[in-house]
Copies of this chain bind each other. A is one copy, B any other.
Amino acid sequence: MIISIIGVGLLGGSFALALREKYPHLQFIGVDQSAVNLKIALAKGIVDEVMPLEEALQKAELNVLATPVDSIQTLLPVLLNQIPAGRTLMDLGSTKESICAIADNHPNRAQYVAVHPMAGTENSGPGAAFQELLPGKNVIICDSKKSHPDSLALVEAFLRDIGMKIHYMTPAEHDLHLAYVSHLSHISSFALGLTVLVKEKDEKAIFDMASTGFSSTVRLAKSSPNMWAPIFDQNKQNVSRALGDYIELLKRFKQAIDTQDLEQSLSLMTEANDIGRILAGIEKK
C-alpha cells in the first residue's frame, strides 16, 4: 500500500515513522512546498520518494494532510476534487470546526476522515519528527459517521496499531476543548516569554536568575508562529473566550496581591492545586 504524507513536518513525519515501524512494507510518498523539508524527509527515512501533489494523489491509497491549518483549508477541497474513487484522505489539523465545514460541502466528503492527534512539541519540521511522538497518546476523530465505513476503518486501524487511543467527538466539542487545554497554554507561554524579553531590555542580567520552573512554563513560546497564528484564527471564538477567562483570573490574582488579601491568594492557589489530579492522569498516559 502507498501512503502520501502531504506536509512532511513534525506530525506528518512522526506518523510516517510510527507506521513504518509497524508496517515495514508500506510505501511512503512525501509532498511538501519546501525542497529542504523533502530532502530531510528522504534522508531521515520518513518517505521513500517525493513527488508533486497531483501525482502522489493518483498513487496513494491513503493521503495524510499534515500541513498547517491554513493550508489544510486551502488544500482540502482541491484534494477532494482530485482524489480517485475508493481512496481515503485524512488530515491532522489542530482545529476541526472550520475544516470539517469545508469538507461537509464537498460531494466526496465520505472519503475524508477528520483526525487530530493530541501530541506535539515546541519544535517543527521533519528534523523534529520522531517515531515515539504519537504512540500512547490520545487522538480525536470528528464526525466519524460522515466518513465512509471503509475509509474510517482504515484510518482507525492505523491509529490503533501505532498505539493511539481513539476518542470521538463533534468538531465543535473538539475546538472548545482544545482552546482551553492547548491553544490557551500556548498563548500564555508566548505572552510570558515576551513579558520577560521586553523587561530584559532594561534589566540585562534578568535571565541569569531563571530556573527550570521558568523554563518549563515558557517552553511552548518556542513554537512556530506560522503554525499557530492560523490555529488561533480558525478557533478565534473559543480561544478568545478562554483567553478572556484567563485574563479575568489573572486580574483576581493581581487584586488579591495589590490589596494584600492573603486569604484570597491562598484560596485561588489551593483551588489551582487540584491540577495535580489532572497532571497525574496525563503523566500516566
A-B contact pairs, 18 of them (CB 8 A): A120-B213, A138-B209, A182-B209, A185-B214, A190-B272, A191-B268, A191-B272, A197-B275, A197-B278, A199-B245, A210-B282, A216-B216, A216-B220, A218-B278, A225-B270, A226-B266, A228-B265, A247-B247
| Closest 7 pairs between A and B when the two form their complex, measured CB to CB | A225-B269, A193-B275, A181-B210, A185-B217, A190-B272, A194-B272, A193-B272
On A, residues with C-beta under 8 Å from B are 118-122, 137-138, 140, 167, 169, 174, 176-178, 180-182, 184-199, 203, 205-223, 225-226, 228-230, 232-233, 236, 239-240, 242-247, 249-251, 253-254, 257-258, 260, 262, 265-266, 268-276, 278-279, 281-283
A245 contact set on B, CB distance < 8 A: 195, 198-199
Q: Once the chains bind, are A221 and B185 in contact (CB under 8 Å)?
A: no
Q: Once the chains bind, are B194 and A181 in contact (CB under 8 Å)?
A: no
Q: How far is the CA of A189 from the CA of B193 in the complex (A)?
A: 13
Q: Once the chains bind, are B269 and A178 in contact (CB under 8 Å)?
A: no
- Count copies of this chain in the complex: 2
A215 contact set on B, CB distance < 8 A: 279, 282-283
Q: Once the chains bind, are B269 and A214 in contact (CB under 8 Å)?
A: no
Q: How far is the CA of A120 from the CA of B192 in the complex (A)?
A: 19
A206, chain B: closest CB distance, angstroms:
5
Q: How far is the CA of A275 from the CA of B135 in the complex (A)?
A: 29
Q: Once the chains bind, are A247 and B250 in contact (CB under 8 Å)?
A: yes
Q: How far is the CA of A232 from the CA of B118 in the complex (A)?
A: 34
Q: Once the chains bind, are B222 and A279 in contact (CB under 8 Å)?
A: yes
Chain A interface, DSSP helix/strand/loop, else mixed: helix
Q: How far is the CA of A226 from the CA of B270 in the complex (A)?
A: 9
Q: Once the chains bind, are A232 and B257 in contact (CB under 8 Å)?
A: yes
Q: How far is the CA of A246 from the CA of B240 in the complex (A)?
A: 16
Q: Which residue of B lies closest to A248 (CB)?
A: B195
Q: Once the chains bind, are A220 and B213 in contact (CB under 8 Å)?
A: yes
A229 contact set on B, CB distance < 8 A: 262, 265-266, 269
Q: Which residue of B lies closest to A279 (CB)?
A: B215
